[in-house]
Amino acid sequence: MELKNKRAVVTGGSAGIGQAIVLDLAKNGAEVAFTYVGPENKEIKRQVESLGRKCLSLESDVSILSEAEKTVAQVVEKLGGIEILINNAGINWDEVVWKMTEEMWDKVLDTDLKGCFNYIRAVAPIFKEQNSGKIVNIASINGLRGKFGQANYAAAKAGIIGLTKTVAKELGKYNVNVNAIAPGLIETEMIQKLPEEIKKQALDETVFKRIGKPENVAHLVTFLCSEKAKHITGEVIKIDGGQYI
Ligand code: NDP
């Protein structure tokens, strides 16, 4: 068990990629707390507990620093500590830049980018004090290459990459690994609302001619949190079936 006795916080763990991350961390031995904002998904907690691990499901909005701090304090109190942070929560609200409203910009930046800062800010003093920790931030290939109709989302995901590299430098001397994952198109709720032609275009871009699964991302997260990845930090790892080569 790669992650036995480790305690993890996963933001946005009630659906899609976050749900797969929660379950894979638990399968590999970790106790897991996850956050959500929509209706509670009790099934995930049940599945984690059936593996013999503790699980906390916490309603908490990532875009508010005080909520992140409260969540982290609850996890420390109920699980006894934190060794792993996975910043996964994210939304998109697409529009061409000349039609994008201030609300669309702010909502996506506050959730996708500020949400990562908020949780890193909340765990950093703990990781510094214990001289160890793992942080994985979920970015996107669209943060690397830009994407028509996603000025807000691509800017947020590009911001995550700068945040990742900076925090890797700042927390490196405290033995904390900080990495980002940049997925291509992954089959989740988030892509259900995309027009068919956009999904087809993404599929055609991949060299495998297939869309990724949440589990593909989850396995990479687990690896980055394991001792096998202890010499990897400040990296952005694409997981996209060759969609952006
Ligand atoms: P989903 O829409 O399936 O899940 C998003 C998760 O984020 C949900 O658990 C949701 O909670 C949570 N969430 C949204 N807003 C907040 C908030 N303010 N506070 C806390 N939690 C919140 O998306 P995916 O699983 O597809 O995406 C997960 C991550 O992967 C995102 O960062 C996304 O940008 C990234 N990504 C996804 C790709 C894809 O093709 N699917 C490609 C590249 C990157 P709730 O269910 O309670 O609303």
Give the gyration radius of the chain's Cα atoms.
17
Query: From the alpha carbon of 112, which atom of ligand 1 is closest?
Result: 32
| DSSP per-residue letters across 32-100 | EEEEESSS--HHHHHHHHHTT--EEEEE--TT-HHHHHHHHHHHHHHHS---EEEE-------B-TTT-
Q: What is the mean pLDDT of each run of 10 residues along the chain (245 residues)?
A: 94 97 98 96 96 97 98 98 98 97 98 99 98 98 97 99 98 98 95 88 95 97 98 98 97
What lines the ligand 1 site, CB under 6 Å?
11-12, 14-18, 35-38, 61-63, 88-91, 111, 138, 140, 183, 185-186, 188-191
Measuring from atom 23 of ligand 1, which residue has the nearest CA? 190
Specify the pTM: 0.98
- Distances in Å between the Cα of 70 and the Cα atoms of 62, 157, 243 are 11, 25, 38
pLDDT of residue 221: 98
pLDDT of residue 190: 86
Domain ranges of the chain: 7-187+213-238
| Residue 153, token pair as written in the block | 């989302």
Ligand 1 center–CA 173 separation, angstroms: 31
Instruction: Tell me which CATH code domain 7-187+213-238 carries.
Output: 3.40.50.720
**Active site residues per annotation:** 153
